[in-house]
């Protein structure tokens, strides 16, 4: 089928509370994917770290296989094919050798094929005011390129979690034609309460694009706390669907890609980028 920007579709976010057990997480996500498909979703997205949330690097890497031996791939491929849906697995931990993993998104087509992969570009290396410290780069190898996936439903720009704080990534995807920006995440509770909604709405508004943001939520087996509050936002910044909690579940909204072009026509900023120099005045 050919991409038709005038044709709408139904999208769903799967909200999870992944633990350490990859098999259990896969089973939990498949049940929610099935629920979303039964509700009429044609595009379904799961959160970052769908297959495991584990802050202990040694434990995470113990027994974690490379992509070609990752059982989750087969399970999600079969789910996409069985339900006849486009399925974005927000990310999986994948062993890439040398003691490192990739934080990798996978897009499955309705026939079960993996049509795109995206490795998270920006590593979450921060020290927060409440004493939380995260050094994602100790475990994960960052990606090196952005990814746009053209389907018959829409043109999807891929990103993961901390990427949302880097507007140039989304601007580049929008300028390449993305009318839907995907931001699967495992936002910390502290940063989520402060910034989650405002960042997502900003990315939608400044790019005239839908934002689909499935999230991890709650207190996880490894002790971390994530914010939940999965969201689907339209190109004018309106929140179309919101999980107003951190519990596992789904949210659903109708996506009309033509609204992206309409928003961009009203505020034509994508084509008005200018290079400039900063004049520093010292007193």
| This prediction's pTM | 0.95
For residue 5, being part of any structural domain is answered with no
Closest CA to 34 of 25, 19, 44: 44
For residue 196, being part of any structural domain is answered with yes
For residue 272, being part of any structural domain is answered with no
Gap between the Cα atoms of 89 and 172, Å rounded:
22
Backbone torsions φ then ψ of 241, nearest 5 degrees: -150, 140
pLDDT above 70: residue 134: no
Are the C-beta atoms of 117 and 130 separated by less than 8 Å?
no
For residue 199, being part of any structural domain is answered with yes
Q: What is the CATH number of the domain that holds 172?
A: 3.60.110.10
And the tokens for 135?
Answer: 């050094």
Give the list of residues 6+ apart from residue 58 with CB closer than 8 angstroms, or none.
none
User: Domain count of the chain?
Assistant: 1
Domain that holds residue 222: 10-266
Backbone torsions φ then ψ of 150, nearest 5 degrees: -95, 120
For residue 4, being part of any structural domain is answered with no
Average pLDDT estimate for 232-249: 98
Which residues does the annotation mark as catalytic?
Answer: 48, 120, 161
For residue 283, being part of any structural domain is answered with no
Gap between the Cα atoms of 56 and 16, Å rounded:
19
pLDDT band at 128 (very low <50, low <70, confident <90, very high): low
For residue 278, being part of any structural domain is answered with no
pLDDT above 70: residue 229: yes
Give the list of residues 6+ apart from residue 234 with CB closer than 8 angstroms, or none.
204, 210, 240, 259
For residue 57, being part of any structural domain is answered with yes
């Amino acid at each position: 089928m050919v991409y038709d920007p005038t044709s709408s579709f139904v999208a769903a976010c799967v909200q999870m509370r992944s633990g350490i057990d990859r098999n259990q997480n896969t089973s939990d996500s498949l049940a929610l994917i099935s629920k979303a498909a039964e509700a009429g979703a044609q595009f379904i997205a799961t959160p970052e770290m769908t297959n495991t949330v584990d802050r202990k690097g040694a434990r995470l890497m113990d027994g974690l296989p490379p992509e070609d031996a990752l059982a989750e791939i087969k399970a999600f491929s079969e789910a996409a094919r069985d339900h006849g849906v486009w399925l974005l697995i927000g990310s999986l931990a994948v062993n890439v050798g040398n003691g490192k993993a990739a934080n990798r998104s996978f897009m499955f087509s309705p026939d079960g094929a993996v049509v795109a992969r995206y490795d998270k570009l920006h590593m979450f290396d921060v020290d927060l005011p409440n004493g939380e410290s995260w050094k994602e780069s100790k475990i994960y190898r960052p990606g090196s390129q952005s990814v746009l996936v053209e389907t018959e439903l829409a043109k999807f720009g891929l990103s993961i979690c901390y990427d949302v704080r880097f507007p140039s990534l989304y601007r580049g995807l929008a300028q390449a034609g993305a009318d839907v920006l995907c931001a699967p995440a495992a936002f910390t509770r502290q940063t989520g309460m402060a910034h989650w909604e405002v960042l997502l709405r900003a990315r939608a508004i400044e790019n005239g694009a839908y934002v689909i943001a499935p999230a991890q939520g709650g207190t996880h087996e490894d002790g971390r706390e994530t914010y939940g509050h999965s969201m689907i936002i339209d190109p004018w910044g309106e929140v179309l669907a919101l999980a107003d909690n951190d519990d596992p579940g789904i949210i659903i909204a109708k996506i009309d890609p033509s609204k992206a072009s309409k928003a961009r026509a009203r505020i034509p900023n994508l084509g008005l980028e200018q290079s400039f120099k900063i004049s520093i005045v010292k007193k």
